[in-house]
Structure 1
Amino acid sequence: MQSLFNWLDSGYNTINSLISYYRDHEKKMMLWGAGNRGIAFLQMYDPNAVYLSGVYDMYPSKQGTILKTGHHVFAPEEVKCDVIFVLSNGIERFARKYIKEHGRNEKVIDILDIIFGKLPLSKIIQTDDVQLIPVRKEKICGLTIMYYPKEANFSYVKQYAKELDHLVIFDNSPSDNKSFFEKANFPENTEYYWNHGNNIGLGDPINLLAEKLANSDYNWILTFDQDSVLEEDMITGMRKFINSDKCTEDVAVVSPQLVSCEKDVHSIKESVFPFCTHTYFIAQSGMLQRIRTIQAIGGYDKNLFIDSVDTDFVVRCMMHGYQTIRLNDCFLYHQLGDKDEKQININGHIYNTNKYGPLRYYYQYRNALYCKNKFRGSAYEFIWDEVLNVLNNTVSLEERSKDISEMIVQAKQDYSKRVMGKYCGVK
């Protein structure tokens, strides 16, 4: 819990001033979400239930209860307010959708955006329409990293290849899949590279490409998974931003909204979202990263291989003073779902099970331990505390819980011995 307080404390002056501003203007404030983040927020910023009028929560088991801080928990339809604070991307999306669908006009403020964007009070209170003025023309090199791709994956990639200045398909697979590439008939700006059966994970291919392009006229690398499907005009929208006056030199990462279906896209477009949000929650697929920034912060961490590769990179960008931004009008369909995946609700917490096998759990757990220690004492340590908490709570719900538990034990042992990178089995 201490790491969560460290994160919340990093934005203390601004958040405290924000609450005081709305209190002085007699605005009714509510928090959405009575989970760990919400409780920590209240303990730090309103420990005696003086400023906020309560907490919204969608789960009946929490509604009608009183938190230790003295705040009452309500169903959203019970009480209206002027300002709603949210503490996660998921809750922000849900809250904005709820407000739109129910004809309400509360202002939603994302605490993550304030902290990670180091936003001044004036920018939080008054949100203006964003006008993008073209001032440059940046070049983008795409990088799609593959592993055991199917023929259909090459079809997905071909759909966006022509929108890029150049595209590299980097194949980590044991066998060459060039026949699929040739059959797909890609445009001339696309090259296929098979790494001769050597799987080097996610970070190293990006490091290699960034090094290759360091002295070229390319400015950005846009990375994709092999199963990524882009919403129409996603790349166009991202280009429009990086070519504009709003993309300052300290912008290191730009990403789209990740969605699972077309219904999500319509819902977000109809809700009142700001033009962009500052966040650490940026997936590798769809991540547009400035090449010189990759080099400035030392590249991707080779110790991670897969899992936490993207979050570690984004956090280090922020710690070096760079902006990491999500554009809320650009969309990418990511991880379209596994037919065996199940969602289990326990006391209002949603756990996704049967999504990953034992080896993936190994990487997630080991790398979370590594990153927690790497960022210990910083405002970002809480990210991996939350990852570890979710993993620990999910294991017993998995159909292969015994196998997964054994791999987590191995993950702990390997981390303690500083065995990182690609998993090579029990030694």
Structure 2
Amino acid sequence: MIRLAGAVILYNPPKNFTDNIKNYFNYLDKLYMIDNSEENTQYIEDIKKIGNNIVYVYNGKNMGVGYALNNALELSLNDGYDFLLTMDQDSRFQRGSIERMIEFINSNDTSNIAIISPEVILDNHVITDKNTPITSGSIINIKIANKIGGFKNDYFIDRLDFEYALRAKKNGYKIKVISDAFLEHTLGNYKIIKLINKKIVITNHLPIRRYYITRNTFYMIRNYFFSFSIYSLNQLRILITDSIKIILFEDRKTEKINMIIKGFYDFLIGKKGKYDK
């Protein structure tokens, strides 16, 4: 039987965030709660009510998703765990899904599998990218993560899960998506519009997210273009189509386009880390 820890990254979570944690907590040997909230949290008592075997880490400021994930990886490695379930504060599994993921790990040789991921559901639509699954809902092989270097701290947020998956594959490791396991995922203020009998997802990301997505996508394309050319070109296509959708359908158009331009410029000059105004 595997030793499975979990990590949930918190950032100013809503009042009911513990409901999502209870959805998977009982399947874990230990849960690391890494809090990137910039003000001292007021929900410690709510956390205690979830159960025992919780390690709460308050960073005191937003250190970025990569830092938080690497913190959890280091803690779980030192505590002797084999795998780490990584979760967002607003995600939850459908019934029976996490059991199927654990059953796969217990029944198969996973020494060469870096990531075990569920199918991701958004508004009743499967949106899983089997090449680069998102971190939320994924089970990370801790030994492999330690070998290839964990997540990119200098990406701060956005695309660090995609980059990690590409790096794992480039190093010869595999990614497994469990087709009968499902994670319900939320995407900010997204909306779905219907245009000529086709449904289009409008993400409505904040301008700052547009900065990170643009900057980090270009770093990812530069680093992996020759190893994953088709994937890289598709990521470039997504950047272009997202920019068009911002102009046509989203609010705060000028701010978002300006942040896209800023993200591309900072990529050109080699800037990484947290956005500096």
Task: Tell me whether the two structures share a fold, i.e. TM-score over 0.5.
Answer: yes
1:399 aligns with 2:273: no
Give the 3 Å change call, closer, same or farther, for CA 226–389 of structure 1 in structure 2: same
Quote the Cα distance in structure 1 between the aligned partners of 2:166 and 2:119: 18
In 1: Cα distance, 2:2 partner to 2:44 partner: 27
Alignment gaps of 5+ in structure 1: 1-136, 266-276
1:362 partnered with 2:211: yes
- Answer whether contact 2:120 2:185 (CA < 8 A) is retained: yes
Counterpart among 93, 100, 109 of residue 247 in structure 1:
109
Distance 2:134 2:170 in 1: 18
Partner of residue 171, structure 2: 320
Computed over aligned residues only, the root mean square deviation of the Cα atoms, in angstroms, reads 2.3
> Is residue 158 of structure 1 aligned with residue 22 of structure 2?
yes
Aligned to 1:287: 138
Equivalence for 1:421: 273
Q: CA deviation at 1:351?
A: 4.0
- Picking from 141, 145, 151, the partner of 1:300 is 151
Give the structure 2 partner of residue 386 of structure 1: 237
Distance, in Å, in 2 between the alignment partners of 1:336 and 1:407 is 19
User: Which position in structure 1 is the counterpart of 2:191?
Assistant: 341
Closer, same or farther in 2 for the Cα pair 1:293/1:227, shift >3 Å? same
The amino acid across from 1:253 in the alignment is I
Structure 1 residues 336 and 378: CA distance shift in structure 2, 3 A: closer
Decide which structure has the larger Cα Rg and report it: 1
Shift of 1:192: 1.9
Q: Which amino acid is 2:166 matched to?
A: V
Q: Which residue in the other structure is 2:81 paired with?
A: 218
Shift of 1:183: 2.7
Partner of 1:207: 70
* 1:317 Cα deviation from its structure 2 partner: 0.8
Normalised TM-score (structure 2): 0.90
**Aligned partner of residue 396 in structure 1, secondary structure:** helix
Shift of the alpha carbon at 1:280? 1.2
CA contact 2:153–2:273 (8 Å) conserved in 1: yes
Does the CA contact (< 8 Å) of 1:366 and 1:414 recur in 2? yes
C-alpha offsets along residues 61-84 of structure 1, whole Å, 9 cap, x if unaligned?
Answer: xxxxxxxxxxxxxxxxxxxxxxxx
Identity %: 30
Query: Do the aligned residues in 1 keep the contact of 2:21 with 2:89 (CA within 8 Å)?
Result: yes
Q: Which SS does the other structure have where 1:373 is aligned?
A: helix
Structure with bigger RCO (C-alpha 8 Å, 6+ apart): 2
Tell me, what secondary structure is at the counterpart of 1:224? strand
Equivalenced residues, count: 272
Of 167, 171, 193 in structure 1, the residue corresponding to residue 35 of structure 2 is: 171
Give secondary structure in 1 for the equivalent of 2:16.
helix
Separation of aligned partners in 1, 2:234 and 2:5: 30
- Are the aligned partners of 2:66 and 2:156 in contact in 1 as well (CA < 8 Å)? yes
Aligned in 2, Cα 1:298/1:346: closer, same or farther, shift over 3 Å?
Answer: farther
Is contact 2:86-2:137 (8 Å) kept? yes
Alignment of 1:227-266 (within 5 A): 227-244=90-107, 246-260=108-122
1:278 Cα offset (Å): 9.2
Asked if structure 2 preserves the Cα contact closer than 8 Å seen for 1:162 and 1:189, the reply is: no
Indicate the SS of the match to 2:50. coil
Cα 1:364/1:139, change in 2 over 3 Å: same
Tell me, in whole angstroms, the C-alpha distance in 1 between the residues paired with 2:203 and 2:214.
16
Structure 2 counterpart of 1:166, which letter? K
Of 30, 44, 52, the residue aligned with 1:188 is 52
Structure 2: give runs of 5+ residues left out of the alignment. none
TM-score relative to the length of structure 1: 0.60
1:91-147 per-position Cα deviation (integer Å, ceiling 9, x unaligned):
xxxxxxxxxxxxxxxxxxxxxxxxxxxxxxxxxxxxxxxxxxxxxx11111000011
Q: Which amino acid aligns with 1:324?
A: I
The CA deviation string for residues 355-413 of structure 1, in whole angstroms up to 9 with x for no partner, is 21211111111111111111122224234223322233223122221111111121122
